[in-house]
Structure 1
């Protein structure tokens, strides 16, 4: 029918379905990958839509077709966030290379070294200062290791390194210091200590990314939650506790999240909510709950999992009670026992 020029509205009416369903079906039909998976006969409509969305991205397609149903939304958002991160990384690489900087995004332990591990001092020198980044810029092996861990201002980091460490000396001398002097770490001990720090950093990076993904899904869940025909019986209690114990968060919430949660944006969004209640008093409960949820949500951050606190814990446990499935990193912030350490590939982690 679509090939014959029949409109989406007419097709939906003829098939007794919604326009969104028809649009989704057409999207699936235009996707080679989704058409293949549709032929298997056991892939849900929602998964097929995601396969179409990630056309050409085999890693993302494998992720959304292999996960459990309850994890589908999270996995899909995780893939979107990763693609956005990679796009941002490509932009930064292009900008740095335009300035004549050699950029490395994947670490190779056999051919690279941090300037903090190198010196130009002789092997028998007592003083072994590390290489200065500005001075090292003249070295043939000078480069920067780029890490983009998200889209925020503080998520991009560049660290100077040398891709020709053989042109310099290790800061670790080839012999031990006398026992009467302070004991220095051997190179093996230093490497072990550095690896422990790298592992901690990889967990930090992975969980920060997981938090960003979870935040996106949490807000989407709130929007859907506020469309329910009936609010939970304890919604008023949550609002009351927020307006009293967390009044500072309410007054400091300038994000406009409450209006966005209820479908209003722009400078007059708050006024639109007030007008809504004046016109339809039965909407008061929804507006009050949206204000409370916005205040509590706006208070959360990556610090919520790094340094759990009772306020964010109570908030996350409350929305979990109302039906939101907490992700692994959200569960940490909610006070659940931490899962096994989450680490990303060492090649992409910040050194």
Structure 2
């Protein structure tokens, strides 16, 4: 019931009453909205701040108050236990046709023509609250937003470029994207900042992929520098070529003045002592039953090593292959269904001028390394093979970054309450195909599916896995149970993917990635290759902020 009230005369001569009323007595039965959607953030705001904008009501012929504008505010107040809400009683209710027309038009306008704060405006609010000394926790509580949102807003506020971008690209740049721009601005990574803004301005489909690739490349360089620092000050040079006129030679191809093979220890005092650094990547398979065989997706490489590495159709002899591909970046396993890639850095020691420092060739009578059969190739053939190799390395790195983005997207997407349209057809096709990926996931109690559904690290261990999945399905709706089922099947497909996927296109991979794309995931260029597509052409770059 009403606590207290006051009346004022409107310009039309009608009397308008202002009162504090119990929200439970207000009628909310007449509204153009068929469903009143109360999101968590809105309810949290009403709980913390109360109803800030008065509810507009009309008085019925029976003397009750019927809400005209403010149904969501009323229901949120009831849900949060507010004792009173501010109400403006604008007029007596009119039930004739003209009155109903006015109500419909007014409620449509009140619900339809609304504009929330822009990203830049939200950043400004959080920035000012922080300047007043309000803690992150209090900003989160009082604004009804997540702490991560507060953190993102303050990061944007601290970056002039990100702040300007939020203003300039307000229609396309989200707050979390602006925070990513701020992340790379703080690292003085101008190229990545520009690439992110270009993508955001053209739809943002590659935004997460661009950011993750940049993070991975930076992390790789940091690991490289840490490894170099561990070498104790040995001069670092670029990797030498295998050309006969290359002055820098590997120690393994040289002899000392006594005719003995050079070693790192015996060469350490030489003024030409140096090293180049290479990354080695090896596949470490997980233990698996002997009965496991490869299947439709993620199966055994069927091509020979040359083609599996993305090489050309050149008929290369072993020495030529060693010269062109002396990099263990792609020691692909016969079966990548389960296991992990492990990377290490290695130093290859060299002498920068063997002739000057008295070394001779181990395989010949001069300091020149023995002629390689690769030297018999034409320069055009050499460059063709080198380009193929560069493509393989670049696409492998792009695939690793895309995997991180894809799995993060899946983890968030699978928190939904119901499966999207088209899920039934996707699930039916997956089951009907009888793919090895799905069979293997069932046998191992869905290790990847459990991760995507938030149940822990990926593992093939079966102990407790079934109970965890059963617990996930307890007390859930029919719609949510369908999402869990979808998550397990998606996890099976995801587990079958690997660096081989962009090279060996199969129907299972194509069906899986296409389904993700249809539901809002932005495929990277390398994932498009896995679908049998060519990457999209580059777009013209607008001026970055």
TM-score bin (small chain):
0.7 to 0.9
Instruction: Report the Cα offset of residue 73 of structure 1.
Output: 1.2
Confirm or deny that 1:65 pairs with 2:197.
yes
Instruction: Report the Cα offset of residue 16 of structure 1.
Output: 5.9
Which of 253, 266, 272 aligns to 2:468? It is 272
Which of 401, 404, 409 aligns to 1:213? It is 401
> Normalization by structure 2: what TM-score?
0.50
Which of 353, 357, 377 aligns to 1:164? It is 353
Q: Any unmatched runs of 5+ in structure 2? A: 1-128, 283-340, 361-366, 458-462, 538-545
Contact kept in structure 1, 2:251 and 2:349, CA below 8 Å: no
Higher-Rg structure is 2
* Residue equivalent to 2:389: 201
Q: Which has the higher contact order (CA 8 A, sep 6+)?
A: 1
1:277–1:172 Cα change, 3 Å: closer
In angstroms, what is the RMSD of aligned CA positions? 3.8
Matches within 5 A, 1:117-132: none
In structure 1, distance between residues paired with 2:373 and 2:503: 30
Please identify runs of 4+ aligned residues in structure 1 that moved more than 6 A. Answer: 108-111, 116-120
Which of 139, 144, 155 aligns to 1:11? It is 139
1:118–1:64 Cα change, 3 Å: same
Instruction: Report the Cα offset of residue 324 of structure 1.
Output: 1.9
* Residue equivalent to 2:225: 90
Residue by residue over 1:230-280, the C-alpha shift from the partner in whole angstroms, topping out at 9 and shown as x without a partner, is 313332343344443334332355673222222222675653331131222
Question: Relative to structure 2, which stretch is displaced further, 239-248 or 200-209?
Answer: 239-248
In structure 1, distance between residues paired with 2:183 and 2:383: 38
Q: In structure 2, the residue corresponding to 1:147 is in which secondary structure? A: strand
Q: In structure 2, the residue corresponding to 1:170 is in which secondary structure? A: coil
1:140–1:190 Cα change, 3 Å: farther
Instruction: Report the Cα offset of residue 292 of structure 1.
Output: 0.9
Name the structure where strand makes up a greater proportion of residues: 2
Which of 419, 423, 431 aligns to 1:231? It is 419
* Residue equivalent to 2:151: 23
Matches within 5 A, 1:1-351: 1-12=129-140, 14-15=142-143, 17-29=145-157, 31=158, 34-39=159-164, 41-43=167-169, 44=173, 45-54=175-184, 55-59=186-190, 60-68=192-200, 69-95=204-230, 97-98=231-232, 102-104=235-237, 106-107=238-239, 113=248, 115=250, 134=263, 138=267, 140-148=271-279, 152-154=341-343, 156=345, 158-164=347-353, 166-167=355-356, 169-171=367-369, 189=377, 193-243=381-431, 244-246=434-436, 247-251=438-442, 253=444, 256-265=447-456, 271-282=467-478, 283-337=480-534
Q: In structure 1, the residue corresponding to 2:510 is in which secondary structure? A: helix
> Normalization by structure 1: what TM-score?
0.73
Name the structure where helix makes up a greater proportion of residues: 1
Instruction: Report the Cα offset of residue 115 of structure 1.
Output: 3.7
Q: Any unmatched runs of 5+ in structure 1? A: 121-130, 174-183, 341-351
* Residue equivalent to 1:124: none
In structure 1, distance between residues paired with 2:264 and 2:472: 64
